[in-house]
Amino acid sequence: MPIKVGDTAPDFSLPAQNGSTVSLRDFRGQKAVVLYFYPKDDTPGCTAESCAFRDQYEVFKNAGAEVIGVSGDSNESHQRFAAKYNLPFTLLSDKGDQVRKQYGATAAFGLFPGRVTYVIDKQGVVQYVFDSMFNFQGHVEEALKSLQALNK
């Protein structure tokens, strides 16, 4: 079953592009998390989406949220991708797509890993889910709207 609004976001620990391990529980009580699953580093759609998150990163931070991208790519791939596009946020390597499966952000059209964004509040509860393979900018816009509604 996919994770939906009102569910407690499943905890995970994954390696980040900087060599550290990031756990969702590290953010509980501290800040909201915008967790976005994307298919693959350095592809046109994923680059557009990641750069859109980059361009609004300060707005997300000012709204009290951390942005985290997740794909099945290696840490080395994430390092190159982040460096090439100056991505200021964390990219996590989900080899074997275990966390993706846990969240239900699985294959789009049965062919590609899904593109799904979750807005998770400080208490670890999913407040918004946006699932669209082709509306790259929508992931950013909808996540920002959701965070702004939470902060009112």
Catalytic residue, from 46, 63, 65, 119: name it: 46
- The domain in which residue 109 lies consists of 13-150
Answer yes or no: is 28 within a domain.
yes
Answer yes or no: is 1 within a domain.
no
Answer yes or no: is 4 within a domain.
no
The confidence score (pLDDT) of residue 145 equals 92
Mean pLDDT of the chain: 92
Answer yes or no: is 8 within a domain.
no
Quickly count: other Cβ atoms within 10 Å of residue 49's Cβ. Answer: 24
Determine the straight-line distance between the first and last CA of the chain, rounded to whole angstroms. Answer: 31
Q: Is 46 a catalytic residue?
A: yes
Which DSSP string do the residues of 44-101 spell out, in sequence order? HHHHHHHHHHHHTHHHHHHTTEEEEEEESS-HHHHHHHHHHHT--SEEEE-GGGHHHH
Q: Could you tell me the pLDDT band of residue 151, with boundaries at 50, 70 and 90? A: confident
| Domain CATH code at residue 101 | 3.40.30.10
Note the pLDDT tens digit of each residue in 119-142. Answer: 999 999 999 999 887 777 888 899
Answer yes or no: is 5 within a domain.
no
Answer yes or no: is 33 within a domain.
yes
Instruction: Please name the residues in contact with 22: beta carbons below 8 A apart, sequence gap of 6 or more.
Output: 13, 14, 15, 16, 68, 90, 92
What domain count does the chain have?
1
Answer yes or no: is 2 within a domain.
no
Answer yes or no: is 7 within a domain.
no
Note the pLDDT tens digit of each residue in 22-40. Answer: 999 999 999 999 999 999 9
Query: What is the model's pTM?
Result: 0.94
Note the pLDDT tens digit of each residue in 32-77. Answer: 999 999 999 999 999 999 999 999 999 999 999 999 999 999 999 9
Question: Do 108 and 46 form a contact (C-beta atoms < 8 A)?
Answer: no
